[in-house]
Amino acid sequence: MQTAFKKFVVRRLGGRALDDNQDAEAAEGKFPDFACFRDIVLMEMKHLETDQHDRINEVFDTEIDPAEKPIFYGQREGHFITENVSNGEAIKNTITSTLSRTIEKLLHQANRQFSSYRSRHPCKNSVSICIILNSTLREFTPETVIHAIQGKMKLNASGELRFPAIDAILYISEKHFKILPDGRIGLAVGIFEAAGTVFHPWKQQFVDRIVETWSRMRTGSKPVPSEDVSHFDPIHDIPKTMSRSDSWYLEYQRRPYMSALPVERLKVLFNRCVAKISVSFVKGNWPKPPMEEAMKQGRVFAHLIEETNRRGLDLRQFGRNTLTPEQEMEVYAGLPPELVAILTGKAPSATDGAQG
């Protein structure tokens, strides 16, 4: 994404990359990445790239009361977890504190680079824009990142600007999207207008031009303004090779055909799928189905797991002991009586195993 943005500045905005003359620039002092519009606009490009998945899981493991900890397979969005535990707000604060520290470091670096460069190359009309890119981290939603930026751009305890050399911040994520009202896919672009832009509104035209030109290059159309930065979904990367189970999860993400089913129906399908998988893998005297059938049930199970994660369901809701007698009949219909006895802990009756 950094390479794409550099090409964008040079080819679409007619700017120049100061890094191309890095040795000479560095000898004079700190400098930003780009200058454009006759050097009126300076841009410093930063990139969020450190994987946070393991760190966030560690927070969940250590901070959540074991009695409240949800049971699930695979991956799910963190808000499903924090919304359903008593200390959810504290956990969110712990997770976002790491992001806030990263944002502060990036802004501090950009502020120094702008200040140092402008002290050597003064310009009566100047605009300094910090660009923060994200093409890798799905854990931090656009809403979370923008909230962290707002927090770090507040005045300090003395009422002074913390980063006075930064006029605006653009957060561009190609790891999150939402479906727009007209059906197009929209990528996340957050705009923070710092004091320099608020008190000198003419600077906003450059911010708007950068956003519109970037949007047209990456999506083929102009941006759609919105005050709502919530409800963005993560974009799933597709590797060159993947396991069969990963391909099943991806398949369901593309076509979530069970999304409209009520939870009770999902529970029956889940238990039915587990029971049919057991026919192939639990030891018993019944005939084993062909491998194709086991693969089919494995695929359905992956789809069910993905749907439970999309909804943030706790799998304890799907326990066999939660089934009604009518649901049990549907779950175990047509299965070998010996297997049903193993799965339920009940002795088989004369009607068990009837084909349905």
244-274 pLDDT, tens digit per residue, is 888 998 899 889 999 999 999 999 999 999 9
Task: Report the SS3 class of residue 60.
Answer: helix
pLDDT for res 356:
38
Encoded tokens for 164: 């006075």
- Total-model pTM: 0.73
Whether residue 49 is contained in a domain is answered as yes
Q: Report yes or no: 39 and 123 within 8 Å, Cβ to Cβ.
A: yes
Residue partners of 45: CB distance under 8 A and separation at least 6: 2, 5, 6, 33, 34, 131, 133
Same domain, 73 and 172: yes
Distance, in Å, from the CA atom of 155 to the CA atom of 289, rounded to the nearest integer, reads: 68
**Residue 349: which pLDDT band, with cuts at 50, 70 and 90?**
low
- Same domain, residue pair 110 and 166: yes
d(CA 46, CA 2): 9
pLDDT at 51: 62
pLDDT digits (tens, 9 = 90+) for 195-242: 999 999 999 999 999 999 999 998 888 888 888 777 788 887 777 888
In a domain, 298, yes or no: yes
**How many distinct structural domains can be found in the chain?**
2
Average pLDDT value for the chain = 87
Distances (CA, A) of 115 to 133, 146, 150, 240: 21, 23, 21, 43
Q: How confident is the model at residue 110 (pLDDT cuts 50, 70, 90)?
A: very high
Q: ∠ at Cα 179 (269, 81), nearest 5°? A: 50
Q: Which of 182, 214, 234 is the last residue of a domain?
A: 234
Under the banding of pLDDT at 50, 70 and 90, the label for residue 303 is: very high
207 with 193: CB under 8 angstroms?
yes
Same domain for 181 and 46, yes or no, is yes
Full domain range(s) for residue 276: 244-344
Q: Which of 211, 234, 257 is the last residue of a domain?
A: 234
Tens digit of each residue's pLDDT (9 = 90 or more) over 20-50: 888 888 888 899 999 999 999 999 999 987 6
Lowest mean pLDDT among 15-19, 249-253, 347-351: 347-351
